[in-house]
């Protein structure tokens, strides 16, 4: 049986072998990083070494990093820390932002997935000074990259705070927390080859937040509880590997472009969402008109190819993307799109297998080929 072609890196990337090895060593060694004996000091040193590695990937200072249980917790932490501020978010945010910001003003997207900066300016004026604005660096479904530094400057000009969900961007494109101008930034280890269940919120030096969890003095008093040492070390090793491998995404981008050209050759009526905007080098959101997203995902899966219909959710159900609808797609159009996300292990042979499977499904299900 042929090996599964895994093209769902935006849902979770395969864990890197060096990460597994480092985590096993840590779990075998044990030790509480808050203990003062040798085992505790060793564990503390490992946590701080990992913090430094992650800081290098993100262009921030090590003390600005607060380790969390993942990206969702980091987003929740950031957005719930300032309950008295008016909240503005883009309409294309991840569910972990949308769910905690149900009463927020949603900022519109253009047809190419970019934040409408004019609308942001109007909404900032209406909100008055002190708004909290959350806009992701790169969209998890379309890969569209936002002009975050420009957005942050507009927010700060109006006396606001800016949070950036950089969960999909970190490890795929260069990320510099200071240059982006964010006050807070969320990341997640499993998006760049680390373990699941560990992430971080980067908090600008000098910005005070109430502790997320109370109890001990861990994470400089900002999140109590014994640290997930193995997870943190795994995240640090993954961050170092991702930082060293950023150039490899130039090859990934070429594979993605080749893939898109072949799919459009098969199905000229298909649409690639956000193709005129800067995008992550690994992400394609493409429709197959007349064929439901769920059917596409299932058909490709039967051929041993893993893709998705958008953001991974706990229900496991496929639903029309709110991101594509925010870009102007109809329910029918959004309901015929899938997300293909490549990574550092993707090969030309795997792309060829996907193209062949796509062609087979298109010719079988497209109205154009109906009898």
What is the token pair recorded at 298? 């299932």
Read off the DSSP letter of residue 272.
B
For residues 74 and 201, the answer to whether their CB atoms sit within 8 Å is yes
Q: Which residues of 55-70 are buried (b: 16+ CB within 10 A; e: fewer)?
A: bebbebeeebbbbbbb
Query: How far is residue 25's CA from residue 279's CA, in Å, rounded to a whole number?
Result: 37
DSSP string, 314-346: TT------HHHHHTT--HHHHTTEEEEE--TT-
Helix 348-365 × helix 293-302 angle, to 10°: 130
Query: How far is residue 116's CA from residue 323's CA, in Å, rounded to a whole number?
Result: 14
Residue holding tokens 């041993």?
Answer: 304
CA distances from 324 to 9, 40, 142, 241, 369 (A): 19, 49, 8, 32, 27
Query: How far is residue 10's CA from residue 188's CA, in Å, rounded to a whole number?
Result: 11
Read off the DSSP letter of residue 13.
P
Largest CA distance in the chain: 76
For residues 68 and 223, the answer to whether their CB atoms sit within 8 Å is yes
Residue holding tokens 């959350």?
Answer: 134
Residue holding tokens 């706990």?
Answer: 314
CA 208 to chain centre: 25
Read off the DSSP letter of residue 146.
P
Given the residues 60, 123, 164, 313, the one annotated as active site: 313
Q: Is 123 a catalytic residue?
A: no
List all residues 6 or more positions away from 148 whose beta carbon is below 8 Å from its beta carbon. Answer: 135, 137, 164, 180, 181, 182
Pairing assessment for the beta strands 305-306 and 199-203 based on DSSP bridges: unpaired
Query: How far is residue 296's CA from residue 307's CA, in Å, rounded to a whole number?
Result: 9
Catalogue the active-site residues. 313
């Amino acid at each position: 049986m042929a090996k599964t072609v895994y093209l769902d890196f935006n849902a979770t990337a395969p864990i890197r072998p060096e990460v597994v090895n480092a985590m096993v060593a840590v779990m075998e060694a044990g030790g509480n990083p808050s203990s003062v004996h040798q085992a505790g000091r060793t564990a503390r040193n490992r946590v701080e070494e990992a913090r430094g590695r992650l800081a290098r990937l993100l262009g921030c200072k090590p003390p600005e990093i607060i380790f969390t249980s993942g990206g969702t917790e980091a987003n929740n932490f950031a957005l719930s820390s300032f309950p008295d501020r008016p909240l503005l978010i883009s309409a294309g945010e991840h569910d972990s932002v949308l769910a905690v910001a149900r009463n927020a003003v949603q900022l519109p997207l253009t047809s190419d997935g970019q934040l409408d900066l004019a609308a942001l300016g109007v909404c900032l004026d209406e909100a008055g000074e002190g708004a909290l604005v959350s806009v992701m660096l790169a969209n998890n479904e379309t890969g569209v990259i936002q002009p975050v530094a420009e957005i942050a400057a507009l927010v700060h000009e109006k006396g606001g705070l800016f949070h950036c969900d950089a969960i999909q961007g970190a490890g795929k494109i260069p990320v510099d927390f200071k240059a982006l101008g964010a006050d807070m930034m969320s990341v997640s280890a499993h998006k760049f080859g680390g373990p699941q269940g560990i992430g971080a919120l980067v908090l600008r030096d000098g910005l005070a937040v109430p502790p997320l969890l109370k109890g001990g003095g861990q994470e400089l008093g900002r999140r109590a509880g014994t640290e997930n040492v193995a997870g943190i070390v795994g995240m640090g090793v993954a961050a170092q590997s991702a930082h060293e491998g950023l150039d490899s995404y130039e090859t990934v981008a070429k594979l993605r472009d080749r893939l898109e050209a072949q799919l459009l050759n098969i199905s000229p009526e298909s649409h690639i969402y956000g193709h005129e905007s800067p995008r992550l080098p690994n992400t394609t959101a493409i429709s197959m008109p007349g064929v439901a997203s769920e059917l596409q995902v299932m058909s490709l899966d039967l051929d041993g190819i893993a893709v998705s219909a958008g953001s991974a959710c706990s229900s496991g159900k496929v639903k029309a993307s709110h991101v594509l609808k925010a870009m102007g797609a109809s329910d029918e159009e959004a309901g015929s799109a899938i997300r293909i996300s490549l990574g550092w292990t993707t090969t030309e042979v795997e792309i060829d297998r996907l193209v062949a499977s796509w062609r087979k499904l298109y010719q079988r299900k497209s109205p154009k080929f109906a009898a």
